[in-house]
Amino acid sequence: TKVKKFQYVQDDIDKVVVKIVLVDKNIDCGGLEVLLRDLFNNIEVVFQYVDDIPCEKSGKFKDVINNLLAK
């Protein structure tokens, strides 16, 4: 397992941001990026490799955040 933590954030119908915390920053994730782009098909996928993903104010971690309903 190369990924320690991940989060999908969708603010637009045609774009999703995938935040990834890697176990080792030197790991090549090209295959993972291809797999996720194929999974999302016609949606633009933006990858952000980050050091950590904070929990919500409630203290819970959300791995999927869909902000489409808030618009």
Q: How confident is the model at residue 17 (pLDDT cuts 50, 70, 90)?
A: very high
Cβ pair 47, 33 in contact under 8 A = yes
Cβ pair 54, 63 in contact under 8 A = no
16: how many CB neighbours lie within 10 A of its CB? 20
Residue 69: the pLDDT is 79
Three-state secondary-structure class, residue 71? coil
What CA–CA distance (Å, rounded) separates 70 from 54? 21
User: What's the pLDDT tens digit per position in 35-56?
Assistant: 889 988 889 999 999 999 999 9
Map tokens 């990026």 to a residue. 33
